[in-house]
Amino acid sequence: MDIHRRAEMTGLLGYESPLDRALGAFFAPVNGTARVAGGSIDLDVVETPEAYVVKAEVPGVAKDKIEVKVEDRDVTIAVEYRQEIEANGKALWRERSFGKASRAIRLPEAVDANAAQAKHVDGVLQLTLPKIAKANAKQITIQ
């Protein structure tokens, strides 16, 4: 049996140059896609009229190892991947990573952190972040 290491596909045609990596890291805080703590959390963000829905892939992470912080427009998801220790036998091959990972994003508008909801089902964390209702402008009659 042959064992082959899986290659990551990034950038144009699967290649990401050192310049691409440097520029990506430089602009990440500006475009709201900063990845920190050495890990990667893939996510989708959907906007509805009432809320933002964030779905983050966190396979193999127990819900008590997930931390979510919401403040104004900023959302941070942090997780801890655990290494499984083999009770019988020794590991011949390890590709799964362990440690901590986090992801920070900035939403277009502020959300109500007190009304936020989180669900963790089948390795997917789903956050429902209600938008803060905008105050309606009212015309005032001058007397």
**Domain extent listing, the chain:** 32-85+97-130
The neighbour count for residue 121, using CB atoms within 10 Å, is 8
* DSSP code, position 72: T
Is 54 exposed, middle or buried (CB count within 10 Å of its CB: 0-12, 13-18, 19+)?
A: buried
Instruction: State how far the Cα of 115 lies from the Cα of 128, in Å rounded to an integer.
Output: 9
In whole angstroms, give the CA distance from residue 40 to residue 79.
Answer: 10
Place of tokens 């429902």: 128
pLDDT for the residue numbered 121? 95
Read off the pLDDT of residues 74-118 as tens digits, 9 standing for 90 and up.
Answer: 999 999 987 777 778 787 887 777 789 999 999 999 999 999 999
Give the CATH number of domain 32-85+97-130: 2.60.40.790
* 3 state SS of 26: helix
- In the block, which residue shows the tokens 């508008």? 109
Among 19-23, 59-63, 128-132, where is mean pLDDT lowest? 19-23
> Comparing 13-22, 47-56, 58-67, 113-122, which segment has the lowest mean pLDDT?
13-22
Q: Does residue 18 sit in helix, strand or coil?
A: helix
pLDDT tens-place string over residues 4-42: 344 444 444 445 566 666 666 555 544 444 444 446 799
pLDDT of 123 higher than 50: yes
Tokens encoding 79: 């997780």
